Structure 1
Amino acid sequence: MRSGAPIPDFGEAQLRAVLDAIPARVALIDRGGRCRYANRELAEFVGLTPETALGRTVTEMLGEAAGVLLAGQGGRALDGETVRWAGWLPFHNRAERRYVQRILLPHRGADGTVDGYFIFSRDLTELVESERRLLETGAQLRGSEALSSAIVASALDAVVVMDEAGLVMEWNPAAERTFGYARHSAIGRPVAELIVPPMMRRRHVDGMRRYMETGIGTVIGHRVEVEATRADGSIFPCELAITEARLPGRRLFTAHLRDLTEQRAAAAEIEGQRTRLHHVEKLSAMGSLLAGVAHELNNPLAILLAQATLLRDQATTPELRRRAERIHAAAERSGRIVKSFLAIARQEAPRRTLVRLAAVVDAAVELTAYGARSAGIAVDVTHDPDLPPVQGDGDLLGQVVANLLVNAQQALQDRPEPRRISVWTRRAGEGAVVVVADNGGGVPADLKSRIFEPYFTTKPAGAGTGIGLAICRSIVGAHGGRVELEDVPDGGARFLVWLPCEAAVEPAEAATPDRADESLAVLVVDDEPDVAESLAEILEIQGHRVTVRESGQAALAAARRTRFDIVFADLRMPGMDGIALRRTLMAEQPQVGARTVLVTGDTVLGASTARARRDGALVLEKPFTPSDVRTALEQALMKRDPPAS
């Protein structure tokens, strides 16, 4: 837990609602002894708000006595122990002492180490005082049944009074509500028969007999958590405290019981939120790792794709050309898959352009093809040739389709053959629809209304996170569309993604500059010699004169000696990187600086690419084809010289 950090942001609204609903004072204390979270009940007790309580020490909030006591208990909690304590405490903002029951639970971070502890504290002053007054009044009035009954009846917790034989003497209204027995039917019956689960009754009877004979007991005088049973046979957790009252000629035992069902459910919800948060953090780390691996593949893929293209174009025999084409196709497919991964993980704002759904669907099918093929699943794709484009982010829409395809594959894994996924696009009124259907078992009717809820999943533990369909709905909704699950008469599931179509006319192609086919002086800068040489070969085959340098400093020195028309510079290099080189050229040779193309495979993890685009630089992403290089070159030639300062 970072110093100064509040409770994690993920799911904060739900988590706060749960903690505020607990009838207890809740705080999260870090290793420095400072409050990192306080629920509303605790904040109001100490005269603060949940926000102003943050960062304060226990001593500052509760006073010196409470701070000294909690220091020792907190140390045990930081060692991983669950600490339970009950007793009287003075508070600096209260005129009287309060009787407090406290539980300290260690809080573990994502790495499993204890970085703080939760405090769950309940003020039992009124209950203890009620007990005390009951005993005092009973001793003074010696059996004033009316007064005793009035006090017991007012208690919020279940109060059961029994004699030495374990027979019920008093059964208050809270006990009636908790256990389901009316008072008249409970009086005179053995308490074990009413509230003790059958499997624990022998132990209860033996414990009472041992206490009556020896005075040694493990429950009387302590607060413990046990299981109890109701009239309908259901078993539930409860907190039990038994006190003994010695009267002339006999002894009475008063049991105070509190139903912990809601408290346990709240604690389980908190733990579930923490587990989901840790899971999302792991997914995020895995996504970053995957993006990093994809980025590292870009340089060798750029070399492979460029060399395969050159080998194909320069092949001297049909057989050699066929082999080169197979290498080129495999390299191109690898490049598309890597770019798809990077597009999904790209941490940028959505980029809205005219998107052709057929291309989006085909890319998603190719990305998930291995999983389908290895599982023996046939994938059929059909496109409406007259489908107009949609306005949106192609990467995000591709993520939606890929997610639906992966879900369909998982639904078919344990199904008998034939296993089929059908994908098609079609026009629907003023919009377009992408349909992903499978012949699996379908979605049960009682779950259809919940499948788009975050973290709801029908998959077994470890097989899904429950956030995929929620993300799909969010992405499609941001595009002005919707995602629906449609009933399939012959079984299976069918998801429909509805999107609005664009009526806008696509812009006409810009005229190619006159110099695009002329021989240009090009400077290539890359600290990876193989990448630089591959790019240089592509440019030379296209008829240009190429100079190669392996660092930004060497490239700047060459640019000061020789006039270049275009510069291709790797974005990330040791020393002077591509952005610094471009800025220096913009200052010294504005025309060359404006026509500097930054080459990168860093489209996800670094901020350099986004910064370069904000500066107006052209970016060529690895792996690139000769066509990509020609397009980048033509775009660079269209750059106008910046105005003279």
Structure 2
Amino acid sequence: MREEGFRKAGKRTTGRAKPLQVLIVEDSEDDALLMVHQLRKGRDELDFRRVETPQAMRDALRKPWDMVISDHCMPGFSAPDALRILNENKPGIPFIIVSGHLEAEMVAEVTKSGARCCINKDDMALLLPVVEREIRETEKHNRKSRMLSSAIDEVNMFKQIVDHSTDVIWISDLQLDLKYVSNAVFDLSGYTAADVLIRNFNGLLSDRSLAALRKNVERDLTVSSRPGSLRPRLKTELEIIKKDGSSAFAETSLALFRDGRSGRQMLVGAMRDVSDRKYSEACQHDVEVKKLSGHLMRSMWQMAGAIAHEINNPLSVVSGYAQTLLKKELSTELSCDIKGIYDASQRIAGIVTKMLQFTARDNVAYVELSVNRILEVSLDLCLHDLRQDDIAITVQLESSLPNTSGNSAQLQQVFVHLITNARIEMKQAHGKGKLYIQTRTLEDTVSITIQDDGPGIAQENLERIFEPFFTTREVGKGQGLGLSLCYAIVDAHGGDMYAMSRPGGEAAFVVNLPAYKKAEASE
């Protein structure tokens, strides 16, 4: 029995669907033609091929087919064999059995294997409606498959976008119970996405940020959203508690959406790490505060200098008269009173002298000098008192430290004052102490650190420690001008000065001076 291909001859109807492609597995050419006759009743165009051996079927399956129709039993071949070959090569193509003998057991077996329908050859009129139905179902199934495949592709695409985004994407319900969080949360917090889902926001946000987030969601999102309107959005900044205990800050955008399965309102959020930006802003704020403080300090000293000039003349008169009266023979009580007046005038004169020292800074000559050398001289001046008070000294001076431009007497005054202050604080705290002095180069800056293990500086005092007349010592034991004058001297040298302290003890003063450049000298 030969295997033949048939195509309907005659006119083609323009615009109609493409020809139906049917592969017929049948050893009887007459039965195959009968099937074609039935199919052509509903199709203007039909392409088919008849095969009757396994190899011929495999060869035929290299082409696309819309339908496979098979006899159940043929010499050396059968419908179950044909179905198996089809599933191996082109799964999903509808498979229909047309047989002269159909038994219930056989029908159940082939249907279980994937056959769509079984038709008795005596009921050949049923073939066309069955084929049309299966074609429709197959097209419907293929459309759904394409839609599903497209949806899966979109989901995978968005998953790739989310997975590769540096922003942390998360989804939660309105009670902030997390349902999803992207892998970027690891870079932000140090926790894996799985850890965060277990810990929830309670273990990720600071208490303050979590409370603020709950309040904002309730007030700005859920309250403002009306039925059918899920567009309200919210931007806020949250503090993240990282796995190592440190803090990070995330700019967070929130929006409402409706879950397609449950219909519930949900939250979607995106967190962006802004810790570096906040740090830069804080540094910039510190720079601006320092500049403002410098301007204020200079203004205060200028005003103090003007006041000092006004005080100096009448003070000289008071002091002079007191000296004159002390030379006269007066009662003991009156002499004591005048002596008190003279001593007080001398104390005021000392304050005036310090105030005038700063106003005269414009007349001071600056030259190239070695900071290490000035520190060594300053330390020698304080060495006797340091040893007497049992202060251990550690000095680390950078050998290649650049020079600076300044006045050695003024800088020595700064260093001696800082060393003396440290000695006094350590002695009062525990009768001994450790003093650490270091110099190092920071880019174009010469940095000097003088650190002690004394009682430290209270946080509220750190903000005022360089103000004129501010002191924490008892009345009569400090004028509150020493550190203020040190700050003014360093500022006049084009540098800056700040204090640091650890909770429970230790304080450090850092002086930064510009490194000397030869170009400056020629200018």
TM-score of the superposed pair, with normalisation by structure 1 = 0.32
Judging by fraction of residues, say which structure has more helix.
Answer: 2
Q: Greater Rg, structure 1 or structure 2? A: 2
TM-score of the superposed pair, with normalisation by structure 2 = 0.38
